[in-house]
Structure 1
Amino acid sequence: MKTITSRDNAQYKDLKHLAGSSQARKKVGQTLLDGVHLCQAYLQLRGLPQQCVVSETALHNPEVGDIVGQLEARHGHVLALPDALYKAVSQVEHGVGVMFLIDTPERAAPAALSVSAVLLDNVQDPGNVGSILRSAAAAGITQVYCSAGTAFCWSPKVLRAAMGAHFVLEIFENVDLAPLVQGSPIATLATSGYATQRLYDVDLRQPVAWLFGHEGQGVADDLLSAARHQVVIPHLGQVESLNVAACAAVCFFEQVRQNQG
């Protein structure tokens, strides 16, 4: 275990810059997982991080102590910081005091869809993106394709909302969705409040690609027209529409229901 006590330390400065800058995270291809649950999930599903960063107080926490012990047993890198320095890095208020520095995967998107997938067209809210990833993983979906306008999946807010779903998904970012939709050998379903076909009337017992759009504008017109199905979720009450993350969860688990039925 290495300890840093100075704010002027070059490694600490790099860590703080990475924590506060989305541009820096994208440039170096790294991000931070903040909190016990995300760190435990990464250890279980992906292995050793580049580095574990822990506050001095957190070293007395049994769960954090277990994580540090696992890392040291496997010769992982652990960096201890005084509480004040750690809080200046962490983006989580009242957090436990442990984070992982990890490399963000870089994947080239396949030329065609072959398994059930999620396509996110300009979904901008990190909380919505994270919730969709979490629901997709829970429903057994393994691939997610994000347009350039969609929130960066490896940002701290998306990571916290997804609760470890990243580590069981293949996530492709900055993808041109139009060729995927137009040439898809499997059915593509776009949600739209103006559609006439109900979600519950579509056969979902085979792989499908779910297409969800911007929180306010919905799926772009060119993608909407290229989708094989445009579907609506019927709802009661005086509300205009469902939140996109709620809509996605309903869609995914209707597919689960049909396949289990």
Structure 2
Amino acid sequence: MKTITSRENAFYKELKQLATSSQARRKAGRSVLDGVHLCQAWLDLHGEPLYCVVSEGALANPEVAAIVQRLEAAHAHVTALPDALFGAVSQVEHGINLLFVIDTPHPAQPARLTESAVLLDGVQDPGNVGSILRSAAAAGIKQVYAGAGTAFCWSPKVLRAAMGAHFVLEIFENVTLLDVVRSSKVAVLATSGYASERLYNVDLRRPVAWVLGHEGQGVSSELLELATHRVAVPHAGRVESLNVAACAAVCFFEQLRQLQA
């Protein structure tokens, strides 16, 4: 384990840039996993990160100590920082001071849809995107296609909201969703609060592509026109619609219910 105590250290400066700048992360093609849960999940599913950074105070935490010990046994790159220096790079308040730097995964996009997937059409809020990824992974969906206007899936806020779901999903970003839908080999279901077809009346015992739209404007008219089905989630009460992440969870788990039934 190396220890850095100076803010002028070149590695520390690079780390701070990655931790605080979306532009720096995109340029470097790297992501920052902040916190024990994300780091443990990455280690279990993908192995050692490029770098592990820990605060000196966090080394007394048993979970952190176990992760560091595992990494050192594998001769991975581990760096300790004084708590004050670590605080300047962490985006998590009152967290346990551990982070990984990883290469952002960029899986090859399939030529066409052949299995259940999620298509995000301008879903802007990072918390919603992360929640959708988490629900998709929990429901057994493996592919996510993020179109224009959607929050960057590997941003710190999305990563925290998804709680490790990224690591079991294939995530394709900057996708032209119209092309994906046109070439799809599975049924495409677009959610809309104005659709006449109820979610619970659709046969979901097969692969489907779920199209989820912008928080205010919904799914674009072009994608709605191309969809095999336009479906609404029925709800009681006087609220106009469901939050997109809540809508997604209902849809995914209705499909899972039908498959398991």
The TM-score with structure 2 as length reference comes to 0.99
SS in 1 for 2:88: helix
Offset of 1:149 from its aligned partner?
A: 1.2
Contact 1:109 1:175 in 2 (8 A): no
Matched, 1:76 2:76: yes
1:116 pairs with 2:116 = yes
**Counterpart amino acid of 1:170?**
E
> What amino acid maps onto 1:206 in structure 2?
R
1:260 corresponds in structure 2 to 260
CA distance in 2, matches of 1:73, 1:92: 28
Deviations 1:126-182 (A, max 9, x none): 000000000000000000000131101110000000000000000000000001112
Whether 1:217 and 2:225 are equivalent positions in the alignment is: no
Q: 1:153-232 counterparts in 2 under 5 A? A: 153-232=153-232
Cα shift at 1:54: 0.1
Partner of 1:37: 37
Partner of 1:4: 4
Could you list the runs of 5+ residues in structure 2 that have no partner in the other structure? none
Could you list the runs of 4 or more consecutive aligned residues of structure 1 that deviate by over 6 angstroms after TM superposition? none
Is the contact made by 1:30 and 1:104 (CA closer than 8 Å) also made in structure 2? yes
Q: Counterpart of 2:219 in 1: which secondary structure?
A: coil
Separation in structure 2 between the aligned mates of residue 87 and residue 146 of structure 1, nearest angstrom: 32
Aligned equivalent of 1:148: 148
TM-score (norm 1): 0.99
Which position in structure 1 is the counterpart of 2:90? 90
Give the RMSD, CA atoms, in angstroms: 0.6
Report the equivalent of 2:24: 24
Secondary structure of the 1:44 match is helix
What count of residue pairs does the alignment treat as equivalent? 261
Gaps of 5+ in 1: none
* Corresponding residue SS for 1:94: coil
